[in-house]
């Protein structure tokens, strides 16, 4: 089934315009205010139309001030914002704004996510099928959640497992863990797995960094010390030159299970890796390496359009939150929403597999 082109909803348009308005402010405080309002609208569960009162005014939305409200009312009345267009035109930053606007396609707002989750399609993955998150950062690297908090949050969400995938030592900017520190973490994980045996399983993982040449920052022996390797690019994400070779090398590397946020794109900021994705997906499908849909709202990587091509190539998928804090676990829902829009069935999603089956698959790729 091929879905028609999706028109951005009003929430997405408002978010984009408030981001533009933030970008052209000279005062730091105003920049922060509009950015915060943009985030607030992006996080609304419902279409912004439902916030309009009978008298045409807008119901109070936390973190959305009077000037942002004016932009919203303009958009609702005219489908555009004269205020924003004037501010952009007068700022001397019109080209920058234009460029940023070109880097916002196929991002879902929270309202889009809720709509996709509620849609009645039964042949695609749903939240009920989802058993565990496979990209999580803890206080061992740049995360704010303890291992214990990961277990407790997982249990509260009805999960059966979660993979702890802190950044590897090749990424000092994200406080990547040394192998010695990783050994300590494994000791702590073993202890928690004994304590929660039969209820919840922490999986020993790592987020390895894909270097510019496609090699990883961890040796094959280092990779064998964990149960799950998410390999992801964190550099050369603004280059327009073809990086198919880099991504193919990462997929084919021994002991890689998941190609994490494959493009490395960021909302309104950078397009990420340019590659012949069909070749990358084909290689991943042959090796049964899962392609990640990273649900971080700023990433949404890969998106539903690319995911549809990966599905056609026969790929497996990992739908992850990439949570660095307990408050970010709901990002997994954004990943599930993209998967639903792409038409991905639950059996292709490794997060929906029972833990023994998942670990069997993982061991097969590590060997």
Binding site for Zn ion (CB under 5 A): 232
CB of 222 to Zn ion, least distance (A): 18
Which positions ≥6 away from 90 have C-beta within 8 Å? none
H/E stretch holding 38: helix 28-42
Residue whose C-beta lies closest to Zn ion: 232
Token pair recorded at residue 321: 């939150």
Q: Whose Cβ is closer to Zn ion: residue 85's or residue 142's?
A: 142
- Provide, for the chain, the percentages of residues in helix, strand and coil under a 3-state DSSP scheme, each rounded to the nearest 5: 45, 15, 40
Chain-centroid distance of CA 117 in Å reads 16
- Residue 307 · residue 277 · CB < 8 Å: no
In whole angstroms, the minimum distance from the beta carbon of 155 to Zn ion comes to: 25
**Which residue, 115 or 137, is less far from Zn ion as judged by CB?**
137
As measured in angstroms, the least distance from the Cβ of 134 to Zn ion is 13
Over the range 265-283, which residues count as b (16 or more CB within 10 Å of their CB) and which as e?
bbbbeebbbebebeebbbb
Q: State the nearest-atom distance from the C-beta of 196 to Zn ion, in Å.
A: 27
Q: How far is the CB of 57 from Zn ion (least distance, A)?
A: 42
Shortest separation between residue 345's beta carbon and Zn ion, angstroms: 26
* Token code pair at residue 83: 């205020």
CB-based contact 93:28 (threshold 8 Å): no
Taking the least distance from each CB to Zn ion, the nearer of 112 and 296 is 296
For tokens 């960094």, the residue is 209
- Contact between residue 164 and residue 136 where contact means Cβ atoms under 8 Å apart: yes
Min separation Cβ 220 and Zn ion, Å: 21
The answer for 268, left when phi > 0, alpha when psi is -120 to 50, beta otherwise, is: left
Taking the CA atoms of residue 117, residue 199, residue 201 and residue 300 in that order, the dihedral angle to the nearest 10 degrees is: 10
Rg of the chain over CA atoms, in angstroms? Answer: 21
Nearer to Zn ion, 162 or 232 (CB): 232
């Amino acid at each position: 089934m091929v879905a028609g082109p999706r028109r951005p909803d009003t929430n997405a348009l408002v978010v984009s315009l408030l981001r533009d308005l933030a970008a052209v402010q000279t005062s730091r405080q105003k920049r922060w205010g509009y950015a915060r309002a943009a985030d607030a609208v992006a996080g609304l569960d419902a279409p912004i139309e439902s916030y309009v009162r009978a008298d045409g005014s807008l119901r109070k939305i936390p973190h959305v001030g009077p000037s942002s409200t004016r932009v919203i009312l303009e958009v609702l009345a005219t489908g555009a914002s004269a205020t924003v267009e004037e501010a952009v035109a007068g700022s001397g930053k019109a080209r920058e704004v234009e460029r940023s606007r070109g880097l916002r396609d196929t991002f879902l707002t929270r309202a889009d996510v809720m709509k996709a989750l509620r849609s009645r399609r039964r042949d695609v993955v749903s939240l009920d099928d989802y058993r565990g998150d496979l990209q999580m950062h803890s206080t061992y690297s740049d995360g704010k959640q303890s291992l214990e908090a990961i277990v407790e949050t997982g249990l509260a969400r009805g999960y059966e497992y979660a993979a702890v995938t802190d950044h590897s030592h090749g990424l000092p900017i994200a406080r990547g863990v040394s192998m010695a520190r990783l050994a300590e973490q494994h000791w702590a994980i073993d202890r928690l797995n004994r304590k929660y045996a039969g209820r919840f399983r922490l999986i020993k993982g790592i987020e390895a960094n894909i270097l510019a040449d496609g090699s990883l920052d961890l040796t094959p022996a280092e990779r064998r010390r964990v149960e799950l390797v998410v390999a992801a690019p964190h550099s050369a994400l603004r280059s327009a030159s073809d990086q198919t070779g880099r991504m193919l090398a990462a997929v084919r590397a021994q002991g890689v299970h998941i190609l994490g946020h494959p493009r490395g794109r960021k909302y309104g900021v950078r397009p990420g890796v340019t590659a012949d994705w069909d070749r990358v997906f084909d290689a991943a499908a042959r090796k049964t390496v899962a392609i990640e849909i990273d649900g971080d709202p700023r990433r949404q990587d890969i998106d539903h359009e690319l995911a549809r091509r990966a599905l056609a190539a026969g790929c497996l998928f990992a739908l992850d939150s990439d949570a660095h804090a307990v408050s970010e676990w709901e990002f997994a829902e954004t990943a599930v929403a993209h998967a639903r829009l792409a038409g991905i069935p639950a059996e292709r999603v490794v997060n929906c597999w029972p833990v023994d089956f998942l670990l069997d698959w993982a061991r097969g790729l590590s060997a």
